Structure 1
């Protein structure tokens, strides 16, 4: 794959939240291989250190910061440390999300509703409030939503609803942040990561999902990284307010 990778992010600085594994790590890696200085983050220092080492081994300029997105001080610290080190921000990929639940919406405790709403939607806004003053002209924001935004599965209804909210947030912020910053969204299908393991590790569930795609396979973190970096790059300079569904042809319509 690396032979085909260009250098679209030379001289750019990119922050990716929840980026020490899974889709977030894949996105950070691709941005870095294309020349970006990448700032990665997640909740645990150990995970941050391990991910930084992996990316450095590939020749990527990377900086790791512990950031639990629901902690206001850690969010501010993520932005401040980035500015201290690199002086600007060109790309923000908002990937942090709380794990899907299997409870019915009407049986979900208020505290859990609050947590899902806070981590999946509210903190994405709050992080951008901190980052916005440092975003360069021609910068790009990408929200990572989900195929569940279009048709929330019964087993993860409220998670899907929070992901639907990101589609609206993309539209609203695209208008608000233009023309300086483009705001787009990627809606991944099912990717076998630790995050989605409770679904994709189940052989029957996995097969059922594969059959709903047109390619008879699950997505990969590389698939999601390619789509995200396209939207973040100047190749997409006339695209804003859009959601790109990367789900192997699974139906996606609100």
Structure 2
């Protein structure tokens, strides 16, 4: 159930689809003001109460002047699923993954930091993958990029405490547009679900609900953590 967040302001980078959009919907349901930063505007219907700042992370700097003057929470949701064997892995692909996932998070925080410091207290949420801790074939590029994100999570949290909390969700396969290719048939869905102790694929709301909690004051004593939301894949053998 969405938490009540009246009079709070959140920025969701990559909030036009997938988990980012799920976070936006939950924040709106709780009464918060939300600014979405993304290449395309979220499809929420009118009136949605959402402000949109167009931004392509691969092409330009985030315009800090377009962000709210005070930010209570910032979610950085962009991600990638570029899978392939090491023998064919290209340096360019690794650079792209690293820039999108790690460099983009740094650039976003730099732009938002003055507004986050202007709030009474603030928080940031990043996203990683179970492949960092678990070690999965074909995941070299994304695991390297998201491993950097986990390091940034702890560094950000240490540097910005006590005023700003920073945490990270390490997800397993979640039913989003980004994962469509991996879930393109019922046979694929069944096989991939069976790899998880909970025997299903993650949903957008599985991730968005935890994200909402970590961004809120209810998680006020949690910072510097990488939390698995992965159906038990990283820790259990059944």
Asked if the contact 1:52–1:64 (Cα under 8 Å) also holds between the matched residues in 2, the reply is no
The CA deviation at 1:53 is 3.6
- Structure 1 residue 133: Cα displacement: 1.2
1:165 equivalent in structure 2: 148
Match of residue 89 from structure 2: 108
1:125 aligns with 2:121: no
Q: Is the 8 A contact 2:7 2:31 kept in 1?
A: yes
Structure 2 CA distance for aligned equivalents of residues 52 and 39 of structure 1: 13
Aligned to 1:233: 216
Given that 2:2 and 2:209 are in contact with CA atoms closer than 8 Å, whether structure 1 keeps it comes out as no
Identify unmatched segments of 5+ residues in structure 2: none
Task: Tell me the TM-score normalized by structure 1.
Answer: 0.85
Map of 1:210 onto structure 2: 193
Runs of 4+ in 1 over 4 A off after TM superposition: none
**Structure 1 spans left out of the alignment, 5+ residues:** none
179-188 or 212-221, which moves further after superposition?
Answer: 212-221
Whole-angstrom CA distance in 2 between matches of 1:15 and 1:105? 36
CA contact (8 A) 1:17 1:42 kept: yes
Report the CA distance between 1:233 and its aligned residue.
Answer: 0.6
The aligned counterpart of 1:18 is 14
**Greater helix share, 1 or 2?**
1
Map Cα deviations across residues 100-141 of structure 1 (whole Å, 9 max, x no partner).
223323432222221111011111111101111110231000
Q: Secondary structure at the match of 2:197?
A: coil
Q: Shift of residue 219 of structure 1?
A: 0.9
TM-score normalized by the length of structure 2: 0.91
Superposition RMSD on alpha carbons, in Å? 1.9
Equivalent-residue separation in structure 1 for 2:49 and 2:203 (angstroms):
24
SS at match of 1:195: helix
Structure 2 residue aligned with 1:96 = 78
SS in 2 for 1:20: coil
Post-superposition shift, 1:34? Answer: 1.3
What secondary structure sits across from 1:228 in the alignment? helix
Per the alignment, residue 61 of structure 1 pairs with: 49
